[in-house]
Amino acid sequence: TAGITQAPTSQILAAGRSMTLRCTQDMRHNAMYWYRQDLGLGLRLIHYSNTAGTTGKGEVPDGYSVSRANTDDFPLTLASAVPSQTSVYFCASSDSRTGGPFPGELFFGEGSRLTVL
């Protein structure tokens, strides 16, 4: 079973360039999330989507944008990358049966390691 697939697994990007991290899930979960993980810090929420067609800002949304055109896909775009965006990015999903923001158990993709030079 695929679960959540992220691409690319790693990327080196020049500062100022744009980049889209792709995330696809096959579990029909309604909620999806993008986190970044940096050494010594907890996972930090960038953006989330409780259902297709809606998105929301997390703790660290600046410099990132997302879209949720359908249930399965939740791409994360860096419009103009900066070195502080060097991180490991995790996409996650959850089956929020209440229809509200409660995350429930999160299922994570394998991560995308991004280096901005």
Task: Please pick, from the candidates 41, 74, 82, 89, the single residue that binds another protein as defined by CB under 8 A.
Answer: 41
Q: Which long-range contacts (CB under 8 A, 24 or more apart) does 92-96 make?
A: 92/4, 92/32, 92/33, 92/34, 92/35, 93/4, 93/25, 93/27, 93/29, 93/31, 93/32, 93/33, 94/29, 94/31, 94/33, 95/27, 95/29, 95/30, 95/31, 96/29, 96/30, 96/31, 96/50
Task: Please pick, from the candidates 14, 28, 62, 100, the single residue that binds another protein as defined by CB under 8 A.
Answer: 100
Give the interface segment with another protein, choosing from 11-19, 65-73, 77-85, 102-110 (CB under 8 A).
102-110
Task: Please pick, from the candidates 18, 84, 102, 117, the single residue that binds another protein as defined by CB under 8 A.
Answer: 102
Return the residues of window 9-28 that contact another protein according to CB under 8 A: none
- Tell me: does residue 62 bind another protein (CB under 8 A): no
- Tell me: does residue 52 bind another protein (CB under 8 A): no
